[in-house]
């Protein structure tokens, strides 16, 4: 039982990371019906930005400024930088294709993803980069009975939950959130209602990318490392989570992310660490076949 709970806790922490990134996927899909394959790489850029800031502020495993300040700066740069990157990508690569055949932005997104990965590989580092987390965050290990977890893991979980709630409030309780939902529902009609669709899309991209960037910063603090390829598999899995939860549905993304993390941990703990990815994708396929709209999505109309 103890092991089960431990793996469950591992899964919740992993899942909260997936959920954070899945939220971004689902936001963008809801607004543009675009699978933004580059989203996982925005997460990676966030982590690298954080690593860069940390590298400047930490020397020989000692922080030159108060740790809280350093972490705050990392968050600012990581989230802000990622957000701006997302906006830039939308402007340059997706906006020109907004009314084109569905294939077009999808393929472009793949191109953007590849571009980000290779750019970091070539211009920053092909090898993993250190994030000196020891100097910035206390490395205590928390105990509860037989369950152990690092403080940073719990931090990841808590921050993710807080942000998810915040986003939920933003989208469902504010005027701008209504504008977002309106645009997601029917872009043409939203324009008729006086909504500046371009602005809504820009802000959505900023928020989604900033969330991914936040995930990157937290990841760096938790695992102490970043490399150019980290966004790839994580992005695919977060995206899987979004689809399982119901793409376009915020709560679905959160729950899908957590569920996926738990599934992965339990499979890894009790079945096999080799086939965790296989099970994850089988779960995806199963959900898509049985309930294509995902767990919380609206039933799809039969559109071509």
Partner 1 sequence: MNSSPSPLPVTDSSHQLKRFWDSGPAGWNKTLTSPRVMIPFFLVALAAPLLLQYIEDNSSWIGAQYWTLILATCAMYACLAVALNLLVGYAGLLNLGFIAFFGIGSYAYALVASDQIHQRYPLWAALLVVIVVTLAFALLVGVPALRLRGDYLAIVTLGFGLIMRDLILDLDRPPVLAGHQFGPDGLNITGGTNGIHQVQAFTLPSSLPLLGPVPHFRMYYWLFVGLLALFIYCMLRWRNTRTGRAWVAIRDDELAARAMGVNTFKYRLLAFSISAVMAGIVGMVNAAQIFNAFPSPNFDVQTTVMVFIMVILGGLGSLPGAILGAIAFTIPPFVLQQFVFYKYLIISVVLIAVMVFRPEGLLGTVSIRPRKMMGGTLELITAEAAVEASELPTVTDAEAADLEATAGAIVEDPEWKT
Partner 2 sequence: MSKPKILVLAAMASVGLAACGGGSTNGPAANKPDKVQIAAEGPFTGDQASIGAGALRAIQLAVDDFNKAGGVNGTQVVLKIWDDQHNAQTAQTLQAQGISDPTLLGIVGPMNSGVVLGSVQGLQSASPPLPFVSESASNVKVTDSGWSVAHRVNARDDAQGPADGKFMIDQGAKKVYVMDAKSDYSTGLADQTEAYLKGKNIPTKRDSVKAGTKDFATVITNLKAFGADWVYFADEGPEAAPFVSQMKAQGLTIGQNIQFLGTDGEEDASIITASQSAYVGAYATNITADPAGVSGSAAAAYVAAYKAKYGADSLSQAGPFYGSAYEAAQVLLQAIKSSPVNNGKISRNDVISHLASDTFNTVFGSVKFDSKGDVTGGGIYVYQAKGTQMVVVKQVSG
Whole-number minimum distance, CB 223 to partner 2, in Å? 6
Which span (7-15, 94-102, 194-202, 209-217) binds partner 1, by CB under 8 A? 94-102
Helix and strand element counts for the chain (H, E): 11, 6
CA quadruple 140, 158, 22, 128: dihedral, nearest 10: -20
Task: Report d(CA 41, CA 56) in Å as an integer.
Answer: 23
Residue 290 binding result from partner 1, partner 2, none, given CB thresholds of 5 to 8 Å by partner type: none
Task: Report d(CA 209, CA 226) in Å as an integer.
Answer: 18
Return the biggest CA–CA distance within the chain: 60
Does 229 participate in binding partner 2 (rule CB under 8 A)?
yes
Let me know: does 163 contact 214? Beta carbons within 8 Å.
Answer: yes
Task: Among 3, 68, 110, 193, indicate the residue that binds partner 1 (CB under 8 A).
Answer: 110
Whole-number minimum distance, CB 221 to partner 2, in Å? 11
Does 45 participate in binding partner 1 (rule CB under 8 A)?
no
Site residues (CB under 8 A) for partner 2, limited to 243-282: 264-265, 268-269, 273-274, 276-277
Whole-number minimum distance, CB 291 to partner 1, in Å? 12
Each as own residue / partner, the long-range contacts of residues 266-271 (CB below 8 Å, 24 or more positions apart, any chain) are: 266/4, 266/7, 266/8, 266/11, 268/7, 269/3, 269/4, 269/7, 269/10, 270/4, 270/7
Does 197 participate in binding partner 1 (rule CB under 8 A)?
no
Site residues (CB under 8 A) for partner 2, limited to 196-225: 219, 223-225
Site residues (CB under 8 A) for partner 1, limited to 123-182: none
Does 170 participate in binding partner 2 (rule CB under 8 A)?
no
Residue 36 binding result from partner 2, partner 1, none, given CB thresholds of 5 to 8 Å by partner type: none
Does 298 participate in binding partner 2 (rule CB under 8 A)?
no
Q: Site size for partner 1, by CB under 8 A? A: 49
Six token digits for residue 54: 């940390």
Task: Report d(CA 126, CA 185) in Å as an integer.
Answer: 42
Task: Report d(CA 4, CA 270) in Å as an integer.
Answer: 9
Whole-number minimum distance, CB 97 to partner 1, in Å? 6
Residues 238-277 as x/- pattern, contact with partner 1 by CB under 8 A: -xx--x--------------------------xxx-xx-x
Give helix 2-32 / helix 175-185 axis angle, nearest 10°. 70
One DSSP character per residue, 128-148 reads -EE--GGGTS---EEEETTEE
H or E stretch covering 186: none
Six token digits for residue 43: 């997460």
Residue 268 binding result from partner 1, partner 2, none, given CB thresholds of 5 to 8 Å by partner type: partner 2
Q: Residues interacting with partner 2, by CB under 8 A?
A: 3, 6-7, 10, 13-14, 61, 126-128, 130, 132-134, 139, 141, 148-150, 152-153, 219, 223-225, 227, 229-230, 233-234, 264-265, 268-269, 273-274, 276-277
Q: Residues interacting with partner 1, by CB under 8 A?
A: 33, 35, 92-93, 96-104, 106-108, 110-115, 117-119, 121-122, 188, 236, 239-240, 243, 270-272, 274-275, 277-278, 281-282, 284-285, 288-289, 292, 300, 303-304
């Amino acid at each position: 039982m103890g092991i089960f709970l431990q793996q469950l806790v591992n899964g919740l922490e992993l899942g909260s990371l997936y959920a954070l990134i899945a939220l971004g996927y689902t936001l963008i899909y809801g607004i543009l019906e675009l699978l933004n394959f580059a989203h996982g790489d925005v997460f990676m850029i966030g982590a690298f930005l954080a690593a860069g800031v940390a590298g400047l502020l930490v020397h020989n495993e000692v922080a030159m400024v108060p740790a809280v300040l350093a972490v705050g700066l990392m968050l600012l740069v990581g989230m802000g930088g990622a957000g701006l990157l997302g906006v830039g990508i939308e402007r340059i690569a997706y906006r020109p294709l907004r009314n084109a055949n569905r294939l077009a932005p999808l393929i472009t997104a793949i191109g953007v993803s590849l571009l980000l990965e290779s750019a970091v590989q070539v211009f920053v580092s092909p090898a993993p980069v250190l994030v000196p987390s020891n100097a910035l965050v206390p490395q205590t290990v928390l105990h509860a009975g037989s369950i152990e977890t690092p403080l940073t893991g719990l931090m990841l979980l808590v921050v993710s939950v807080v942000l998810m709630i915040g986003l939920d409030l933003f989208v469902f309780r504010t005027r701008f959130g209504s504008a977002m939902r309106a645009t997601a529902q029917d872009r043409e009609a939203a324009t008729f209602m006086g909504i500046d669709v371009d602005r809504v899309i820009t802000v959505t991209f900023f928020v989604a990318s900033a969330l991914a960037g936040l995930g990157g910063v937290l990841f760096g603090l938790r695992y102490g490392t970043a490399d150019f390829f980290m966004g790839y598999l994580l992005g695919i899995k977060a995206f899987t989570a979004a689809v399982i939860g119901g793409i376009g549905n915020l709560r679905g993304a959160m729950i899908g992310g957590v569920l996926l993390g738990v599934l992965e941990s339990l499979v890894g703990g009790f079945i096999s660490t080799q086939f965790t990815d296989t099970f994850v994708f089988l779960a995806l396929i199963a959900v898509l076949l049985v309930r294509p709209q995902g767990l919380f999505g609206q039933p799809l109309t039969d559109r071509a």
